[in-house]
């Protein structure tokens, strides 16, 4: 199985690139942000709980995120592999993911990390906010908070995969297709 963690700050292009990766490698997509937005739109208890964190650009508590991913992994039958997008965002989530995959006898193959400067991220998210309807895309304070949460709480996850020799950085600035080509080169190297 090919199990990929697609990593990067908010606005790095994870959503765009994951769509292309999924269709090329036939992977099953697990985006915790998308799953929370689905719960929100359906008005579930989980969605209501997550909303106050999401609206401010803060992380939803680990046990809530891990529980949701566990359900998703367990309900998925035989697949070619998973792409995790926006997850794990803390070291505790990364440790939990290793355990969840151990129960399926299939480890993470590698983390692909999209790297983009802060100013570019802010511009991209504000631009996306014009159409996305996402409260967390529309105020510069919330965007700045998401970037600082990423630096303080999420960046250590890169170290976690570096320590396992599974960290593959990619320049996230350039055309969508050239970034995708670089991603595929990395993925093909750990298949």
Among 12, 21, 54, 147, the residue binding ligand AMP under the rule CB under 6 A is 54
DSSP string, 153-169: IITHHHHHHHTTT-EEE
Cα–Cα distances in angstroms (integers) from residue 124 to residues 31, 60, 129, in the given order: 19, 23, 9
Residue 86 touching ligand AMP (CB under 6 A):
yes
Catalytic residues: 14, 89, 128, 134, 146
Region for residue 139 given its phi and psi (left: phi exceeds 0; alpha: psi -120 to 50; beta: otherwise)? beta
Among 30, 59, 157, 187, the residue binding ligand AMP under the rule CB under 6 A is 59
Assign 19 to helix, strand or coil: helix
Whole-angstrom distance, CA of residue 56 vs CA of residue 58: 6
Whole-angstrom distance, CA of residue 147 vs CA of residue 167: 20
Residue 53 touching ligand AMP (CB under 6 A):
yes
Q: Does the annotation place 10 within a ligand binding site?
A: no
Q: Among the candidate windows 52-60, 100-108, 117-125, 159-167, which touches ligand AMP by CB under 6 A?
A: 52-60
CB nearer to ligand AMP: pick between 44 and 178: 44
Binding site residues, ligand AMP, CB under 6 A: 10, 32-33, 36, 53-54, 57-60, 65, 86-87, 89, 93, 136, 146
Binding site membership for ATP: which residues? 11-16, 128, 174
């Amino acid at each position: 199985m090919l199990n990929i963690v697609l990593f990067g700050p908010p606005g790095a292009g994870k959503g765009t690139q994951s769509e292309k990766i999924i269709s090329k490698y036939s992977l099953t997509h697990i985006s915790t942000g998308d799953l929370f937005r689905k719960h929100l739109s359906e008005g579930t208890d989980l969605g209501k709980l997550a909303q106050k964190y999401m609206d401010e650009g803060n992380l939803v508590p680990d046990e809530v995120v891990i529980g949701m991913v566990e359900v998703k992994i367990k309900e998925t039958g035989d697949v070619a592999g998973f792409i995790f997008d926006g997850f794990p965002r803390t070291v505790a989530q990364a440790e939990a993911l290793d355990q969840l995959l151990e129960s399926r006898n299939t480890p993470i193959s590698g983390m692909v990390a999209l790297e983009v400067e802060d100013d570019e991220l802010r511009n991209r998210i504000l631009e996306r906010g014009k159409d996305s309807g996402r409260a967390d895309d529309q105020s510069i304070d919330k965007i700045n908070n998401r970037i600082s949460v990423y630096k303080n709480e999420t960046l250590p996850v890169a170290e976690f995969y570096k320590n396992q020799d599974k960290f593959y950085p990619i320049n996230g600035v350039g055309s969508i297709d050239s970034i995708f080509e670089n991603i595929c080169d990395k993925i093909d190297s750990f298949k």
